[in-house]
Amino acid sequence: MFKTLIPKATSRSLLRPVGQASSTFRPSTFYLVDRARRGYATEAEEKDLVIIGGGVAGYVAAIKAGQAGLKVACIEKRGALGGTCLNVGCIPSKSLLNNSHLYHTILHDTKNRGIEVGDVKLNLEQMMKAKETSVSGLTKGIEFLFKKNNVEYIRGTGAFADEHTVAVNLIDGGETSVRGKNIIIATGSEATPFPGLSIDEKRVVTSTGAIALKEVPKKMVVIGGGIIGLEMGSVWSRLGAEVTVVEFLGQIGGPGMDAEISKMTQKILQKQGMKFKLNTKVTKGDDSGDTIKISVEAAKGGKEETLDADVVLVAIGRRPYTAGLGVENIGIETDERGRLVIDQEYRTKLPHIRVIGDCTFGPMLAHKAEEEAVAAVEFITKNYGHVNYNAIPSVMYTHPEVAWVGQTEAEVKNSGVKYNVGSFPFSANSRAKTNLDTDGIVKFIADAETDRILGIHIVGPNAGEMIAEGTLALEYGASSEDVARTSHAHPTLA
């Protein structure tokens, strides 16, 4: 094996005599180092906190812990911080949603506003570049915050070597390991595959492929009528695709969306050109031909129908991502859905190892993961932390947007609580009228005896911003009257 002579002036933290443990390190004029090992980082001092995963949960926890004065290392295998949300999820999809909405508005809606335009053309390549510019700027911003708060960023794939040690295969080659007094697992989630369809992210795509198509498909079939399917379906519908959404349940938006809001949203999206097949299941798919054949039938059984598509978007949900993490080596438990089992303080059965974000219980939402990140670090540093899971808002960024917080009417009804419902249409709102954007309603659900707000549901323009006031009201136990007596600027959508 080749040897290299390295001068004494070289950093001692990276060198030791061959075969000699670091604890017995003694200086000398020259040290022999195996050249084959020079690509391998050596184990550094024990960290106060090691975080596996640099997505929304992981990077927020890392920055929060760094600000609290802990020695922190964050391991991320993607090569860019921000996880699914920032790289291939929330952020790039919102860029496409916003810009496709502008395109659609210019194409179909400016004449009514007194704005006449010439020949409108779609430059899909430039639209994708705008998306990438947003993503790259934000990921670099997180790296800056890591440096500012003294967080060590380790680019590689981590796996448990033992209860306190994480071995890392570095992206740039070689290996290292890092020990932590505390460890947070924040490895996120991945798209759930559909049996029988091979995802290539070109013709059969998840949300990752749906934000990176090279051309507008003539026909797109979306399997799953939840938030991801509807958002990405609406993008390509606006850009010219014929979009059909196939949903097993009897409503769109997923079980968290209020039934009344769901029906109204479906009507609005149908008016925009999207097609829906509810109470329908996909039985098989064939992607061997020029077009993809999707066989569907009624959820309860019935006559089979075949749908043709140039692109199929599989959007049937997401599942925890823990592949290769080695949790089984240290006895960490998972449930029947692959989620890592934790207690109310995010601890696994090994109390120094905590889990936050999509790979454990609760809604797979970026802001829920952020709240858990802060709470978990507070449990480590202060022995207390809190997340109010009854006040976590959800937003679907179609147009109009759909947003809600708290309980649906069905949930309140099933609980046996007597309640009142109040709603107000945007068609009677001054600002919505002047904006020529009047689809949707605001719906309040309140306790009939105390008037305390139990749920707020909005479908309409700017719903994703307005739900913040509803979340604050719910968090502080406000009544409907409290909100009504709060002065709101006029004319505004709020």
User: Is 358 labeled as ligand-binding?
Assistant: yes
Answer yes or no: is 141 a known binding residue: no
User: What distances in angstroms separate CA 267 from CA 274, 423, 460, one per listed residue?
Assistant: 9, 18, 13
Do the annotations mark residue 224 as ligand-binding?
Answer: yes
Q: Is 416 annotated as a binding residue?
A: no
Q: Is 457 annotated as a binding residue?
A: no
Asked if residue 118 belongs to a known ligand binding site, the reply is no
Distance between CA atoms of residues 32 and 37, nearest Å? 11
280 is in an annotated binding site: no
Q: Whose structure tokens read 């978007």?
A: 313
Annotation-wise, does 247 bind a ligand? yes
For residue 230, say whether it is annotated as part of any ligand binding site.
yes
* 324 marked as part of a ligand binding site: no
Residue 189 marked as a ligand binder: yes
Query: Could you say which of 108, 386, 457, 490 is catalytic?
Result: 490
399 marked as binding residue: no
Is 79 labelled as part of a ligand binding site?
A: no
Q: Is 490 a catalytic residue?
A: yes
Confirm whether residue 455 is marked as ligand binding: no
174 annotated ligand binder: no
- Omega before 491 within 30 of 0, i.e. cis: yes
84 marked as binding residue: no
373 is in an annotated binding site: no
227 annotated as belonging to a binding site for a ligand: yes
Q: Residues at the annotated binding site for FAD?
A: 94, 158, 187-189, 358, 364-367
Q: Residues at the annotated binding site for NAD(+)?
A: 224-231, 247, 317
Q: Residues at the annotated binding site?
A: 94, 158, 187-189, 224-231, 247, 317, 358, 364-367
Q: Which residues are catalytic?
A: 490
